[in-house]
Every structure is written in C-alpha cells, then in structure tokens.
Structure 1
Amino acid sequence: MAKVDVRMPEDFLLKVSKLAEQTDVIIPKVLEVGGEVVLAKVKDNLRSVVGKGTKYPSKSTGELVSSLGVTSAKQDRKGNYNVKVGFSEPRSDGGSNAKIANIIEYGKHGQPAKPFLKPAKSKSRKQCVEAMTAKLDEEINSL
C-alpha cells in the first residue's frame, strides 16, 4: 500500500495556530464593521421615508434617526457572536422608538407602510460581507 505524507508550510501553520488563539478577539471586530455598514444603510433609508408623503406637515424631530445604533458584538448561550442594529429606548417624551419604527415600516390604518428596515437589510448585504471579509483579511495578515 502506498503512503503519502503532505506537509504544510511552517508560516501557514503558525498563522493558523495564532488565528485559533485570537478568534475571540477577531470575530467581534469583524462583526462590528459589518454592523456599521448596515447601520449606515438603515439610517439613510429612514431619513428618506420619515415625513415624506404625508397628508399633514411632518412633525419629525429627528429623534428616531438619532436613536439608531449598533451594539457591540456579544456571545449568546450557543456560543454564536451577534451584533444588533436597533433603536435606543425610551424617547424624550416617554414613548417607544420601536413602536414608531414599526408603524413606519408596516403602516397602520390611514397610514401606508414605508419600509426602511427590510430594504436596508437586502441592499446592504453585499457591502456588509465585503467589509467583514476585508476586516478579516486585515486581522489575519496582522498576525
């Protein structure tokens, strides 16, 4: 029976071993870069729909847009890292930003839907993946 012995280059093996040690540091950095890309697209979409096409003059204060943010990367119970793009609560008037965003996204009786979250998710996907890939390559090359 024939036997084949394949050896990996030493520098490659060293990078892989360093990468394994640094995974808990690299993954959050990569996800946060992706979250910032999505956040920018959501803010742009929200600005473009707030106060547009209404029967009455807009009473927009800009508080909804300014409350948008992205969390730092956190690990869940299953060991997966996540970042979330969402609204900080509560509003200065005691109301809920999430409620207002939901009404804008899906509409209500007498107010048509003006989706801004779902289009942002689909349109920023490619840019998000590219940004995260670039950050991952940067982190790997710095090892």
Structure 2
Amino acid sequence: MAKASFKMPEDFLKKVSGLNNKLDDIVPRVLEKGAEPAVEKAKNNLSLRIGQGTKEPSESTGELLKAIESTKPEQDNKGNWMLRVGAPKSKDSKGVSNALKAAVIEYGKSGQPPKPWLKTTKSQSRKPCIEAMKTALDKEIEKI
C-alpha cells in the first residue's frame, strides 16, 4: 500500500498533549475523521486518471476505485499513531492485486506512462485533513 506522512502542527500537538490518559481513546477517532478527506480526494484523483491517455477504451471495472480506503489507526513501536490511505493488499474478482494496479497507474510500466494520482492526493488533501482533525479534536475535547 502506498504511504503518505504529514508533520502535525505545533498547536495541534499541544492540544493533544493535554489529554493525558484519554489520548489512546481519542486519537484513533480523530485520525479516522482526518483520513476522510484524503480518501475522497484519492478516489476523485484516481477516477480522473483511469483510462486517461490510452489508445484503447478503458476496461476498468471500478473495483480498484471501490477498494480505496483507510486502514484502522495503529501505533508503531515508537508510540507514533498512523493510518494509511490507498489500495489495500486485497485482490479484485480476477485475482489481480489492487495495490499492483494502483502502483501501475501511479508509476507506469513499459508502454504505459505514469499517471500520478497518489502524490497529488497527498498535496491536495493535506490542509483539509488537518482541518478535519482539528475539528474532530475540538469536539472530543468538548465531550470531556
């Protein structure tokens, strides 16, 4: 699965640090809300790239587009929270890996030029994701 990472703003990190023992309950919900704009933007960008600039009509079944999602938030061994947005390691109805199809569209292959959609998704969704996480965090803080 493709990976994109963002550095969190300082004011956001200060709010999070004041939550102490409730942090492990709140952070996954905030990250999931923050991933929603990235998932939508990824689906939009991918749909614009599928079949673009091909000599033959597209034979897309739409299975890759439907497979775009975010993973569940998890902590790594350093204590950092993360989730991924992209095509999971699942396969389509013909047994072709969705991650492979996504990578071929992103980076191209012999005879097929690259049509970047994930890199543009990262840059286009950064601010909306941060705003969604700020809003979700503020709502979680109000509940406390």
| TM-score where L is the length of structure 1 | 0.84
Q: Does 1:42 align with 2:47?
A: no
CA distance in 2, matches of 1:70, 1:87: 8
Letter in 2 for 1:93: K
Equivalenced residue count is 128
* Map of 2:112 onto structure 1: 111
Shift of 1:19: 2.4
Deviations 1:5-57 (A, max 9, x none): xxxxxxxxxxx998212111111111111111111110000011101221001
Q: Does 1:60 align with 2:60?
A: yes
Instruction: Indicate conservation of the 8 Å contact 2:42/2:86, yes or no.
Output: no
* Map of 1:97 onto structure 2: 98
Letter in 2 for 1:130: E
Change (3 A) 1:141 1:106: same
Letter in 2 for 1:127: P
Runs of 4+ in 1 over 6 A off after TM superposition: none
Structure 1, unaligned runs of 5 or more: 1-15
Identity over the aligned pairs, expressed in percent? 51
Deviations 1:51-85 (A, max 9, x none): 12210011000011011111111111111111111
Letter in 2 for 1:70: S
RMSD: 1.7
| TM-score where L is the length of structure 2 | 0.83
